[in-house]
Amino acid sequence: MRILDRHARFSHHRVVGEQKTKINRLTPSPALFDLSPPPPTTRRLADLIRQHRGANSSENPALPNAVHRADDTDYQEVTCRSALNKVQGMPSSWTLNPYRGCTHGCHYCFARRYQSHLELGTGDEFSSIILVKVNFADVLREELAHPAWQPKIIGFGTATDPYQPIEGHYRLTRRSLEALVDHSTPIGLITKGPMVVRDFDLLVELSRKAACTVHMSVPTVDEEAWRALEPGTAHPLQRLRAVRALADAGVEAGVLMAPIVPGLTSQPAKIERTIKAIADHGARFCGGMVMHLEGGTRDHFMRFLSQEFPELAPRVNRLYAGKYAPTAYRKQVQGVMDLLRQRYGLHGGHTRSRPPGPATHIPVPREEGQARFRWRA
C-alpha cells in the first residue's frame, strides 16, 4: 500500500512545472486507497527506538513501516517539520539533507556521530538504517516561499549523500532542486554519487538563475584505499567522469579530496595520482583536507582500523590526541597539495556564490540536531 501511495505522489510532482495551477487544485482523496498510517515524525521515531532499546532490524517495532530492500538496508519513511537546517562552523549557514544515514558507508564519515542523537549505532546502523524524509521537498518549497526568506547559499548534502542509491527511487533531491530553481536559491552540493548527472538540467538552470557548485568527493583514486574506506561508493573514476560531464554542461563542478586519511591516502605519490586524475577530468577546482575524528565517528573509525589495519591503528590513535591531526602535520599535507595543484593547473576551490544578505530568521533548537525556523513578524 505504501508503494502505491509513493508512486501516486511522485507522478503528481513530475508534472508540476507544466500544470502547476491546475495540479495544485487537485485535492487527493484521504481514504480510498491509503489505508496505512502516515510515516512517523523523526521525534516519534526516536521515542520508539528509545522505548524498544534499539532499531537493528525491520522486525523491530521501532521501525514501524521500514522496507527492507535488496541492498540489505532498512528504509524507514519519516516526516520532517523543517527542511532547511541552520548550522554553524560550515561554509554555508543553511544545509539540506533529505535522508539520514548513508549506504555509502565511508568509515571516516563525520555524520556517523549524529546517529547517537537517535540512539542508533555509529557502525553498521549508520549505513543499513536509512531515514527517508518523504515530505522533504514539499516542506522546503514552503520554507523558500516564505516572505521572510532571503535566498542565501545552502549546503546540500552535508550530513548524508543526496545521491546515494535510494535517491533513484524517491527523487527527493531532484524535487528539492526543482524548488531551489523556482526560488533562485544558490547552493553548494556535495556528493559521491555519479547519479548527480541525472539532474544536470536543473543544475545548469540553477547556475544560470542563481549559483550552483557541485563538489564531488574523491579522497583518492587509489583502488585499495577506496575499497577499504568507502565500501558502498562508486569507483573514483566514475565519480570523476561525472565531474567532467557536469563541467562540460557548464556547471561549476570540482573535486574535494576529503578527507585525506593519514597512512592510507596521505602518501605524496597517491595524492599526486589523484590530483593528476582530477585535472585530467576537467575539474574546475580541487579542495582537500586531512581527516578529523570526533565522538562516535572516532569510535567507529578506530574499531575499523584495529580490525583491518592493526599495525596502523596505534599510530593514528597517537596522531589524533584531539579531534584534529596536529597543525604541523596538516600544514605538511596542505603544502604537498598546493605544490601538486600548481603543477597540474588546479586551484583550491571555493564556491563563487556568496550569501546576498544577512539572515532574517532566528533558529531555535529542535530534535536530532536540526534547527527549526522561527520567522520574524
CA distance 228 to 14: 39
CA dihedral 82, 83, 88, 91 (to 10 degrees): -160
| Other beta carbons within 10 Å of 345 | 8
Question: Rounded to the nearest whole angstrom, what is the least distance from the CB of residue 192 to ligand SF4 in the complex?
Answer: 4
CB nearer ligand SF4, residue 163 or residue 320: 163
Which bin fits 25, alpha (ψ -120 to 50), beta or left (φ > 0)? alpha
CB nearer ligand SF4, residue 104 or residue 284: 104
CB nearer ligand SF4, residue 190 or residue 275: 190
Strand order in the sheet with 252-260: 85-86, 94-96, 154-156, 187-191, 212-217, 252-260, 286-290
CB nearer ligand SF4, residue 141 or residue 239: 239
CB nearer ligand SF4, residue 55 or residue 218: 218
Amino acid at 318: R
CB nearer ligand SF4, residue 229 or residue 278: 229
Residues that bind ligand SF4 (CB under 6 A): 102, 104-106, 109, 111, 160-161, 192
Name 364's Cβ contacts closer than 8 Å, sequence gap at least 6: 371, 372, 374
Question: Rounded to the nearest whole angstrom, what is the least distance from the CB of residue 220 to ligand SF4 in the complex?
Answer: 13
| Other beta carbons within 10 Å of 180 | 28
Question: Rounded to the nearest whole angstrom, what is the least distance from the CB of residue 296 to ligand SF4 in the complex?
Answer: 13
CA distance 320 to 318: 5
CB nearer ligand SF4, residue 206 or residue 218: 218
Question: Rounded to the nearest whole angstrom, what is the least distance from the CB of residue 259 to ligand SF4 in the complex?
Answer: 9
Question: Rounded to the nearest whole angstrom, what is the least distance from the CB of residue 105 to ligand SF4 in the complex?
Answer: 6
CB nearer ligand SF4, residue 55 or residue 111: 111
Extract the C-alpha cell encoding 19.
Answer: 500544470
Alpha-carbon torsion (141, 10, 115, 123), positive or negative: negative
* Closest by CA position to 117, among listed 29, 47, 173: 47
Question: Rounded to the nearest whole angstrom, what is the least distance from the CB of residue 216 to ligand SF4 in the complex?
Answer: 11
Question: Rounded to the nearest whole angstrom, what is the least distance from the CB of residue 229 to ligand SF4 in the complex?
Answer: 9
Question: Rounded to the nearest whole angstrom, what is the least distance from the CB of residue 109 to ligand SF4 in the complex?
Answer: 3
CA distance 369 to 116: 11
Question: Rounded to the nearest whole angstrom, what is the least distance from the CB of residue 151 to ligand SF4 in the complex?
Answer: 25
CB nearer ligand SF4, residue 102 or residue 261: 102
Q: Residue 193: what are its φ and ψ, rounded to 5°?
A: -100, 115
CB nearer ligand SF4, residue 101 or residue 151: 101
Question: Rounded to the nearest whole angstrom, what is the least distance from the CB of residue 362 to ligand SF4 in the complex?
Answer: 28
Name 117's Cβ contacts closer than 8 Å, sequence gap at least 6: 46, 367, 368, 369
Alpha-carbon torsion (67, 113, 254, 257), positive or negative: negative
